[in-house]
Structure 1
Amino acid sequence: MTFHQLAEQLEQLESTAARLAITAQLAILLNQLNPDEIIVTCYLLQGKLLPSYQNLEFQLAQKLVLRTLVLLARRQNYLPPTQAAVKLATQKAGGAMSLFAPEPELEIRAGTDQLAEMVGQRFRNLGDLGVLTAEIKQAQQSHAQKKSAQKPTTNPDILSVYQQLLAIARVGGTGSQDQKQQLLLALLEELDPTGAKFVIRMVMGKLRLGFSTMTLMDALSWAKHGDKRDREILELAYQKKADIGKLAAAYLAADLGTKTNAEFGTNVSVNAGTAEISAALESYEVEIGVPVMPALCQRLNTAEEIIAKMPRVYAEPKYDGLRLQIHCNLEAGWVKAFTRNLDEVTAMFPELQQGFAHLKCRNCILDAEAVGYDPETGQILSFQATITRKRKHEVAAKAASVPIRCFVFDLMALDDRSLVDEPLSQRKQWLQKLLPPSAETETVRQTRYLETSDPETLHQFHETQLGVGLEGVVVKQADSIYRSGRKGWRWVKIKEPEGTSGKLADTIDCVVMGYYLGKGKRTIFGVGAFLLGVLESDAAKTDSGSIRIVSVAKLGTGLTDEEFQLLRRQADQMRSATKPAIYEIPTSLQPDGWLEPGLVLEIAADEITTSPTHAAGVSLRFPRLVKVRADKGWEQATTVAELKELCQLQSRLMAKD
């Protein structure tokens, strides 16, 4: 498939709002790909070159891309529209520049000319480098057609463009920025306007097509069957090895006796069942070096409720740190660490290499909570101190002042054997053999736990953890298998003292969707309040069950000056000229500026109330900032369903009072 054909499909996806329509379009695209194009196209659809767990960034600043577009414009004899035309076109397109921070300034090296200033001004009016690139390329195409009465002959395929993008991202060292610029310029000259637009959006990390990994799984099933019957089995496979490209290739390669279906392409089987798919995906298993999707906790507020749902449990202290998944390949001599958001952070924690090197195994995958500690006293530090370890610069100095200690609580693989389908009781036994007390170090320790079926014993254990300054306990069903997310009653957390009323029993992780301009004193911050959202994944409301972000509260009162400044710095990096497609916000709540999804805040509130205003159908009463969750991606924010569970829990507690 040519990149032009892919770009046309991306443009169609971008303009489609209905979830089912997006799924159907993706299914058609997947069926049109050659086998060697499937993996890379799945990554490109998510605006990436590699799976999420492999860090590869373009490292191209906006100013450098602007300079590249000036060079492109000069070569193509491009002249931006007049200022009057610019203003009219912007108004017609409904475009508006962000008012949140100063407009980007165009810095051109020696030899600044009028064209550079005009291109910079054009960008400030459009607010989208991709659209500007397409406009420049359209001028080139029109010029070429006038001269030769035919379109440019270059039409690279997907793999060719992908390899060029990889080359741009991998250039490093002295003079790398100039090399990146020249490679990007050469690629843009090969592409048509639509293809160039999407390449620039990928380079800038702005490719937002309005669907999630879960939608891609639906599309895979639709590509085979014309429905989403295989969604569950695909999701289970992805949980074991979180690489959508590899999963798509394995699934679509399955020979199920396919036959032509005009609606969904040429590779559709309407008769194959889940048994055949299960056999085809049998080899798609847990793999050392590829993250397992992490298991997460449900919420309950009393020991009695927990034991009623899970008669035999393991209770563990709940540390307030960074969730890390540790992959050890001791035969190959490496240790890797991944966050719950699947980001590889190995380089940020150099002590892990030595800390896990002594384990008596060939390889393993461990689940752990990493907390900072005082190197002089050994005392555990706060989350705010621990999160300072998540950095790219001055790593060694920070590792010396805030070393981390990994409390290991689960074992998902051992010596090339997947353990995720084994009961927790068995996994605990294997972990005890792998990491006995004699093998513990300052860096690596096994999480202590209590096994019980007695509510009073569980209650006392919970109170003990609160008494020593921890967040409470995590309670796990003793015979539960390891499954990602919060489905089923396998893991439950209690963070507050039991029976607490007058405020929510747990905090809420919200996505910052936009901002409102400040008034009075807040004009110095450029913002007066933030619009918060949560995830809506109810299939009845989102067609195919794809995720949307719906408004739930405004956050403004109660923030200190320092918190306003912190949030502004974070939000400055995520400004969007237009409303992201996955946002659902009533007209009455439209913010003054939009942010791309990415900034997650942990919010406390007094209660959840029914709301006719917010898109979530509920709202938070007296929301207040607890902390910025730099360790979480927006896909891991609280869901509407979880809010409703919290609301029910709140009602039960108030009824008891």
Structure 2
Amino acid sequence: MLYKKQNAHFFLFLMLFSEFSFLCEALEKTPSRLSKKKLLRAFFLLHAPEAVTEAIHFLTFYFFHEQQAVLFQLDEIQMVKIIAEYTEKDIDSVRKSIKHEMSGDIGAYYSVHGKSNLQSPLFQDIFREICEFGAIEGENSQETRKKKILSLLDKVSKEDARYLLRLFVGTFRIGVSDKTILEVIFEIFLVRYGERYKDIDKKKFEQIYGVFPNLGKIVYFVLTNQIEKLLSVEPKIGMAVQSQTAEVFFKNNALLLDFSKYSYVIQPKYDGFRLQAHVTKEQEIFLFSRNQILVNHLFPTVAIALKKYALQNSFYGVIDGEVIGFDRLNNFYLTFQDTAKEKREKKKKTDKKESIELQYIIFDLLVFKEVNLMNETYQKRVQIIETFQEGEQIKHVNSIPVFNIKEIEEQHNLCIKNKYEGLMIKDLAAPYEAGKRTRTWLKYKKIQKDSLEDTIDVVILGYTLSKGMRSKRQMIGSLLVGVYDEATQHYVTVAQVGSGGNQVLWNLLYENLYAITVSSPLENVFISKAHIPDYFVTPKIVVSVKADLVSLSKDHTAGVSLRFPRLLTIRPDKNEKESTDIRKFLSE
């Protein structure tokens, strides 16, 4: 084992993969969030900064190859086939065992039934091999990925392999969020540098993370005493910035607006797919979802259109906007659900489909030619956007000044009439606040008192299997859904959803939920005895539902519930904490 000396301490310079696995296992077995933080803090302080950086990248799925994010492109079904072949077992028996004996945990299955192997390679070597997945492409890419996985399994013990396999299916099951890791880093910062940097608080760290969401690099700066470098981080082309989000606006919270002090504009609110576009000086295009996931493969036509747009405007930088389907024949924008459906059916060549195109609506500019504009006023950022020439599929949002509530109401009614989701109200003097839900952006949706015209985004917390004849068509009978409460950092339930959608959507959900099924709800998931599902899941998948009413409830842990909820679609653009705050609907 190699060590290096730094700041009068000896650090573990090279780390065995088994040591990283031991940390993951300890975190998984520790229910208390405070205890998890203590484990992370001890790990960060014991090991060398380089090792800690890569360990955090592993825990947060942050892998890059030649400056491009690594996409594993493997689902649960493919992984089951690989494991069945590698362990020389029947696929159906492996699938059933994972589902019924291991609560859907493919890693736990392998730790019991996998091949014995006493090797423990260096963590750094395994990390670099995982990064090499980014170089795999071409006709035989799936077979190459399979061989790569088998090669990795040959190098680690079956107990340690559980975290490799969980990585490939996208869930670690150790109950540690990015926010928890950031809090641990901040606590280390306070102990080491609190006296010197008394004006740096937790809020400042969250702002840094919003602009520079690389936890591995942030901890490296703290552990290596590069605080000035940390405090001066800027948004970087090619690295996704956390999106600013809007507070909900209702008629009776009009006090959020002060027309005597501030100037506002309204913009149509599109029911689309939030997309942050990065354009390099060499005209390379990187498209990121609101969860900072690279999604070029989902929107190839948008990437091509953005490249043309960048060339005609001599542009490079970072822009924020929304992808939405536009019906050119009838001259209106589609809903998110219809846009997603259009993408799935894009291979069907009909006159109707050819009349619909994906457009990218630009509504903000974060970086222009390597100059950070996030601290500039929204008015200045919009003025720069308006100097650019629109493209065939690239449009600029229309901003209209408003001077009182009456004008907002008039514009809201007009937006609804023109089939928009509602409108946005934006403060022209405000900066771009990365990663924050702010009152400088307000969303005013179509909501009526006796029914909900708007869709509601909820996170799935569990599911119940179908019974009777229905079980022959689809596996899931109903979903237990909830919302994330920012104040308490808990997930609370709001409804059981058993209708809506179609058979394809329900079966797709089952495949996705099967991969994240757990034996019991996580520590911060609150479910009443009246709504215990057949299976619990890790809060991860967000879906849109339609409901008639929001009402007070004693049975659901949110204190409110949705009446007559119907499933609409999966929201892959949203993470588990971006659910709708439906309790605000009660004040309408």
The TM-score bracket by the shorter chain reads 0.7 to 0.9
Match among 241, 249, 257 for residue 292 of structure 1: 241
Cα deviation digits, residues 310-341 of structure 1 (max 9, x gap): 64211111122222222222x31222222222
Letter in 1 for 2:241: V
2:203 to 214, 232, 235: 232
CA shift at 1:414, angstroms? 1.1
Give the counterpart of 1:38 among 31, 45, 52.
52
The structural deviation recorded for 1:71 is: 6.4
Q: Determine if the alignment matches structure 1 residue 201 to structure 2 residue 166.
A: yes
Give the counterpart of 1:134 among 100, 105, 111: 111
- The verdict on how the C-alpha distance between 1:60 and 1:296 changes in structure 2, with shifts beyond 3 A counting, is closer
CA distance in 1, matches of 2:518, 2:253: 50
Aligned counterpart in structure 2 of residue 515 of structure 1, from 447, 457, 463: 463
- How far did 1:207 drift? 1.4
Matched residue SS, 2:476: coil
Distance 2:503 2:361 in 1: 33
- Do residues 550 (structure 1) and 564 (structure 2) align? no
| Contact kept in structure 1, 2:72 and 2:133, CA below 8 Å | yes
The reply to whether residue 591 of structure 1 matches residue 545 of structure 2 is no
**Scaled by the length of structure 2, what TM-score is found?**
0.84
Check 1:626–1:446 CA distance in 2 against 1; reply closer, same or farther (3 A cut): same
Equivalence for 2:519: 578
Match of 2:366 among 412, 435, 449: 412
**Closer/same/farther in 2, CA of residues 487 and 181 from structure 1, 3 Å limit:** closer
Residues 504-557 of structure 1: CA deviation (Å, up to 9, x unaligned):
58543101122223345533433332100111333xx4xxxxx4422221112x
Q: Distance in 1 between matches of 2:414 and 2:399?
A: 13
Task: Give the structure 2 partner of residue 17 of structure 1.
Answer: 31
Matching residue's letter, 2:476: V
Paired with 2:212 and 2:347, the residues of 1 have a C-alpha distance of 32
Structure 1 segment 232-631 matched on structure 2, within 5 A: 232-255=203-226, 277=227, 279-302=228-251, 305=254, 308-309=257-258, 311-329=262-280, 331-347=281-297, 348-350=299-301, 351-375=304-328, 379-388=332-341, 402-433=356-387, 435=388, 439-485=389-435, 487-496=437-446, 500-504=448-452, 507-519=455-467, 522-524=470-472, 525-538=474-487, 541=488, 547-556=489-498, 559-560=499-500, 562-563=501-502, 565-575=504-514, 576-579=517-520, 581=522, 582-631=524-573
Structure 1 unaligned runs (5+)? 75-79, 81-104, 108-116, 142-151, 256-276, 542-546, 651-657
> Distance between the aligned counterparts of 2:334 and 2:309, measured in 1?
22
Q: Which of 218, 221, 234 does residue 183 from structure 2 map onto? A: 218
Judging changes above 3 Å, is the alpha-carbon distance between structure 1 residues 518 and 219 closer, same or farther for their aligned structure 2 residues?
Answer: same
CA distance in 2: counterparts of 1:502 and 1:205, whole angstroms: 40
Question: Against the structure 1 CA distance between its residues 163 and 623, is the aligned structure 2 distance closer, same or farther, given a 3 Å change threshold?
Answer: same
Matched residue SS, 1:30: helix
| Equivalent pair of 1:507/1:603 in contact (CA under 8 Å) | yes
Which amino acid is the alignment partner of residue 45 of structure 2?
N
Q: Summarize the Cα distance change of 1:188–1:507 in structure 2 as closer, same or farther, 3 Å threshold.
A: same
Distance 2:398 2:127 in 1: 47
2:91 maps to a residue whose letter is L
Report the CA distance shift for 1:251/1:610 in structure 2 as closer, same or farther (over 3 A). Answer: farther
Secondary structure of the structure 1 residue equivalent to 2:124:
helix
TM-score calculated relative to the size of structure 1: 0.76
Distance 1:64 1:625, change over 3 A: closer
Residue 645 of structure 1 aligns with which residue?
Answer: 584
Summarize the Cα distance change of 1:17–1:307 in structure 2 as closer, same or farther, 3 Å threshold. Answer: closer
Q: Is the 8 A contact 1:364 1:414 kept in 2?
A: yes
> SS at the partner of 2:327?
coil
Deviations 1:135-171 (A, max 9, x none): 246x736xxxxxxxxxx4x322211111222335643
Kept in 1: contact 2:189–2:222 (CA 8 A): no
* Structure 2 residue 574 is the aligned partner of structure 1 residue 632: yes
Q: Which amino acid aligns with 2:274?
A: R
Q: 1:390 to 1:12 in 2, by over 3 A?
A: farther
Q: Give the superposition deviation at 1:609.
A: 3.8
The answer as to whether partners of 2:306 and 2:394 remain within 8 angstroms in 1 is no
Structure 1: how far apart are the matches of 2:345 and 2:191? 45
User: Rg: which structure is higher?
Assistant: 1
Question: Do 2:283 and 2:316's aligned partners in 1 also have CA atoms closer than 8 Å?
Answer: no
Distance 2:76 2:502 in 1: 27
**1:129-208 map, 5 Å:** 129-136=106-113, 140=116, 152=118, 154-168=119-133, 170-208=135-173
Deviations 1:61-104 (A, max 9, x none): 55664565466657xxxxx9xxxxxxxxxxxxxxxxxxxxxxxx
Please report the RMSD computed on the Cα atoms of aligned residues, expressed in angstroms: 3.4
In the alignment, is the contact (CA less than 8 A) between 1:156 and 1:191 conserved in 2? Answer: yes
Q: Distance in 2 between matches of 1:572 and 1:308?
A: 45
Deviations 1:284-321 (A, max 9, x none): 11111112211111112229816644642111111222
User: For 1:392 and 1:14, how far apart are their aligned partners in 2?
Assistant: 41
Q: Tell me which residue corresponds to 1:106.
A: 91
Quote the Cα distance in structure 1 between the aligned partners of 2:276 and 2:368. 14
Matched-pair contact (CA < 8 Å) for 1:407–1:446: yes
Percent identity between matched residues is 24
Distance of 1:465 and 1:318 partners within structure 2: 8
Aligned partners of 1:486 and 1:606: how far apart in 2? 30
Deviations 1:221-243 (A, max 9, x none): 12333699843222101211333
2:91 is paired with a residue whose SS is coil
1:376 Cα offset (Å):
5.1
Cα offset, 1:616, TM superposition? 2.6
User: What is the CA–CA distance in structure 2 between the aligned matches of 1:382 and 1:120, rounded to whole Å?
Assistant: 37
SS at match of 2:305: helix
Q: Answer whether contact 1:303 1:456 (CA < 8 A) is retained.
A: no
| Inter-CA distance 384–604: structure 2 relative to 1 (3 Å threshold) | closer
2: CA distance between counterparts of 1:382 and 1:369?
Answer: 12
Spell out the pairing of 1:56-67 with structure 2 (5 A cutoff): 56-60=70-74, 62=76, 65-66=79-80
* Alpha-carbon distance between aligned partners in 2 of 1:337 and 1:245, rounded to the nearest angstrom: 22
One-letter amino acid of the counterpart of residue 112, structure 2? E
How far apart, CA to CA, are the structure 2 residues paired with 1:121 and 1:521? 21
- What do residues 199-252 of structure 1 show as CA deviations (whole Å, max 9, x unaligned)? 122223231221221111101112333699843222101211333333332333
Give the aligned residue type for 1:45: L
Q: 1:593 to 1:124 in 2, by over 3 A?
A: closer
Q: Distance in 1 between matches of 2:349 and 2:168?
A: 30
Q: What's the CA shift for 1:6?
A: 1.0
- Quote the Cα distance in structure 2 between the aligned partners of 1:221 and 1:381: 43
Correspondence for 2:5: none
Structure 2: gaps of 5 or more residues: 1-14, 195-199
**Which amino acid in structure 1 is aligned with residue 324 of structure 2?**
V
2:440 and 2:348 mapped to 1: Cα distance? 36
CA-CA distance at 1:365 after TM superposition: 1.5
Deviations, residues 537-583 of structure 1 (Å, cap 9, x unaligned): 33xx4xxxxx4422221112xx24x5354233223222125335353
Q: Which amino acid aligns with 2:368?
A: L
Letter in 2 for 1:618: V
Does structure 2 retain, via aligned residues, the 8 Å contact 1:530–1:555? yes
